[in-house]
Structure 1
Amino acid sequence: MGTPMVLLIDDDEINNYVNSSILHKEFPHLEIKQFTSAEEALAHILSNADIPYYIFLDINMPLMNGWEFLDELDKLDIILNLTIFMLTSSIDQADRDRVKTYSRVNQFLVKPLQRTFVQSLFNK
């Protein structure tokens, strides 16, 4: 297994930039890739399947949303080392309930990414 990589998947470049800055401030050596397209992020994961990933995934995105991204992962017949967090602006209880139906998702987080959460995640 390789060194863990963080993937920020959000169609809003500003959100990706802010979250990347928060992560880099706490952990400057962390490798972070930003994607504004869930399809591109999925292609990256599949072409680099041996890397463990921490994924911060938005729900509402054009073309492929966060739910569709998770559905595509579930269709794969390969083992991936993924730690997925839904990071969204949604405060809809239906989204909170739906995320519980995806075993791959570790936690539902509301934007913005909190520094204390990042510290607890990577200081284990």
Structure 2
Amino acid sequence: MTIYLIDDDSLGNYLTEALLRLENFASQIRTYESAEDALVELLRAPVPPRVIFLDLNMPVMSGWDFLEALAPHRPRLLGQCHIYILTSSLALSDMEKARTYDLVSGLIHKPIDREEIRAIQAELTAEDHS
């Protein structure tokens, strides 16, 4: 399984990637500090990543902008690619806005922990067996 980790925080990426590897979450983890770079790669990929961990607050292209850019590609991605928003914000408005995107599978408060990773693994496994 391939996943994308999109966050402009290099230290946060390092720690999240280390935890994902420790939990054997994915065979391939691609890390992007720029949502634009991730978008280009995603649109080029013959098969979308199974999971995207997406930060909201990034310069140039925010996580919200990234989600808007995916709208025309929704039919290709829906059911194939699960997006989990990573945020340090506790704003209820972010949670409400995230619910308006059907590509978004969940919102996770940073830092991500083992229990959240295991819960996502369980959801994906259940989906594979249904």
Which residue is equivalent to 1:46? 43
- TM-score w.r.t. length of structure 1: 0.90
Which residue is equivalent to 1:98? 97
Instruction: Supply the AA of the counterpart residue of 2:19.
Output: I
CA distance in 2, matches of 1:28, 1:77: 24
Where structure 2 has 5 or more consecutive residues not aligned to the other structure, the ranges are: 126-130
Give 3-state SS (helix, strand or coil) of 2:90's partner.
Answer: coil
CA RMSD of aligned residues (A): 1.6
* Runs of 4+ more than 4 Å apart: none
1:72-108 Cα distance to aligned partner (Å, 9 max, x none):
0002376122100001111111111111111110001
The structure where helix makes up a greater share of residues is 2
Length, aligned pairs only: 121
- How do 1:23-38 residues align onto structure 2 when only pairs under 5 Å count? 23-27=20-24, 30-38=27-35
CA distance in 2, matches of 1:29, 1:55: 11
- Equivalent in 12, 16, 35 of residue 13 of structure 2: 16
Q: 1:28 offset after TM fit, Å? A: 6.9
- TM-score w.r.t. length of structure 2: 0.86
CA contact (8 A) 2:56 2:62 kept: yes
Identity %: 36
CA distance in 2, matches of 1:16, 1:70: 20
